[in-house]
């Protein structure tokens, strides 16, 4: 009976989503399966190339800066050029730049190409999220974003394990394998995914001027959500910058950190689908308030964790918050985004995470060096509380999603939509 119930739960979780979503999901999974550079770049630079840790940190920062720069530009391209062309450009550029990085040896060349890799790899995110919003019905979006988040973590978990074996054989092979798998994603997009950019809906986008970045910046509620997203991202980034440094200073071994953080990926792979079934039709305000508090205080409890077992328990706690927060927050961004400007809105949202990835190492390093790790964990608790209060205030009287804004069009509208999309592409 439990096996039958599990099969029924999985079937209900994946049913009802359009075929285009599953091709996009497959592209995401294949892309993350080849994620070699993000996992082993620092080790490659220090052990293989012999550069200092300071230089490796600089290259990592430039890689992140590339993502910040490309977020808004990719969002504009997603709306103007289309989702599919933006994805093709981003994936092809990522594959070529990753392959090029594997052959670079001069420090300036490595830094420059790492910046390009960061730009190219981050450019696909606004297009992916906008396309998912286009092709999935509003009532199914939380489930769709959750399944995509699950694919990202499943692919990353497998690639992280495989990357160690590949690196022991050849770092260059890792770069070339990631390049090949990224180009394979581009091929999937080219062959299987049609353009999904919605045609203007009468009475909505068709009667509105084109939304520029100024329009996004003047959207007070949305920019508030972007700011709160940045705060939440600062908290979660401590799993990869603050936590390993703090554990090292406390006398733990690298393998201890590896054991603790492994539970993050394992829990996401095992629990993302069942948790999504529980939350997908619940109030997003309550979910984001609770997940922000659990994330902040989950990291905050690290101050009282004196063993690997207790640290692992804190990891499990904030991982539950991550499982709830990621799809709910992405769904909220779509809900607040005008249909004709989804790319720009997703680009701004993506930038909040990219900026957090740049700021988190600076904040955690400064706090740990000057005040100690316990202050960092207290800071996380405070930031989580501020984010929770912010979500509670911003999401009051949240407008309901528009039923016609997404999903398959009726046959009578298809030809008109096609003509409108062609006009957009040429105009």
Residue range 219-248, pLDDT digits in tens: 888 899 999 999 999 999 888 778 887 888
Does any domain span residue 186?
yes
CB 31 within 8 A of CB 128: no
Q: Are residues 98 and 237 in the same domain?
A: no
- Are residues 171 and 110 in contact, defined by beta-carbon separation less than 8 angstroms? no
CA 179/CA 82 separation, integer angstroms? 24
Count of domains forming the chain = 2
Task: Report yes or no on 5 lying in a domain.
Answer: no
Segments forming the whole domain that contains residue 331:
216-400
Look up the pTM and report it. Answer: 0.71
DSSP state of 252: -
Distances (CA, A) of 78 to 8, 104, 344: 37, 31, 7
Mark whether 122 and 268 lie in a shared domain. no
In a domain, 211, yes or no: no
Residues 168 and 262 in one domain: no
Say yes or no: 49 and 111 in one domain. yes
Q: Are residues 190 and 221 in the same domain?
A: no
Same domain, 156 and 287: no
Q: Which residues contact 22 (CB under 8 A, 6 or more apart)?
A: none
pLDDT score at 118: 86
| Residue 374 placed within a domain | yes
pLDDT given at position 230: 95
Segments of the chain with pLDDT less than 70: 1-14, 38-39, 43, 53, 160-161, 164, 199-213, 398-427
Q: Using CA atoms, how far apart are residues 29 and 12, in angstroms rounded to an integer?
A: 21
Q: What is the predicted pLDDT for the residue at 207?
A: 45
Q: Is residue 406 part of a domain?
A: no
CATH number of the domain that 227 lies in?
1.20.1250.20
Report yes or no on 6 lying in a domain. no
Cβ contact 386:231 at 8 Å: yes
| Residue 413 within any structural domain of the chain | no
230 and 260, same domain (yes or no): yes
Distance of CA 97 to the CA centre of its chain: 20
Residues 222, 182, single domain; the answer is no
Question: Is the CA virtual torsion 243, 257, 320, 158 positive or negative?
Answer: positive
> What pLDDT is attached to residue 399?
62
Residue 224 shares a structural domain with residue 190: no
233 and 103 assigned to the same domain: no
End-to-end CA separation in angstroms for the chain: 58
Whether residue 251 is found in the same domain as residue 184: no
């Amino acid at each position: 009976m439990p096996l039958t119930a599990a099969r029924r739960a999985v079937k209900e979780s994946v049913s009802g989503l359009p075929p285009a979503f599953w091709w996009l999901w497959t592209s995401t999974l294949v892309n993350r399966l080849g994620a070699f550079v993000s996992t082993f770049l620092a080790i490659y630079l220090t052990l293989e190339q012999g550069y200092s840790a300071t230089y490796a940190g600089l290259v990592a920062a430039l890689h992140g800066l590339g993502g910040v720069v490309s977020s808004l530009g990719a969002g504009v391209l997603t709306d103007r050029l289309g989702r599919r062309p933006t994805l093709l450009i981003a994936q092809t550029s990522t594959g070529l730049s990753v392959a090029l990085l594997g052959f670079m040896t001069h420090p300036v060349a490595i830094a420059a190409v790492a910046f390009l890799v960061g730009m190219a790899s981050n450019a696909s995110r606004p297009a992916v999220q906008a396309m998912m919003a286009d092709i999935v019905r509003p009532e199914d979006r939380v489930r769709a974003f959750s399944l995509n988040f699950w694919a990202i973590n499943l692919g990353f978990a497998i690639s992280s394990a495989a990357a160690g074996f590949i690196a022991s054989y050849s770092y260059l092979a890792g770069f070339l394998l990631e390049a090949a798998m990224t180009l394979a994603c581009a091929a999937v997009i080219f062959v299987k995914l049609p353009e999904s950019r919605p045609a203007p809906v009468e009475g909505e986008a068709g009667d509105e001027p084109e939304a520029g970045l100024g329009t996004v910046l003047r959207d007070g509620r949305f920019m508030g959500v972007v700011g709160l997203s940045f705060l939440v991202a600062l908290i979660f980034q401590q799993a990869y910058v603050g936590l390993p440094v703090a554990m090292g200073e406390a006398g733990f071994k690298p393998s201890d950190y590896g054991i603790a953080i492994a539970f993050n990926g394992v829990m996401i792979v095992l629990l993302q689908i069942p948790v999504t079934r529980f939350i997908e039709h619940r109030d997003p305000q309550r979910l984001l308030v609770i997940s922000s508090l659990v994330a902040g205080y989950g990291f905050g409890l690290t101050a009282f964790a004196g063993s690997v077992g207790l640290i692992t328990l804190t990891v499990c706690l904030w991982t539950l918050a991550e499982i709830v927060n990621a799809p709910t927050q992405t769904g909220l961004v779509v809900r607040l985004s005008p249909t004709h400007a989804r790319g720009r809105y997703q680009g701004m949202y993506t930038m909040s995470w990219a900026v957090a990835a740049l700021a988190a190492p600076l904040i955690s390093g400064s706090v740990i060096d000057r005040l100690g790790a316990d202050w960092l964990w207290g800071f996380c608790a405070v930031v989580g509380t501020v984010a929770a209060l912010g979500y509670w205030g911003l999401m009051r009287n949240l407008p309901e999603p528009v039923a016609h804004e997404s999903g398959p069009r009726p046959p009578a509208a298809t030809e008109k939509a096609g003509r409108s999309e062609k006009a957009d592409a040429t105009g």
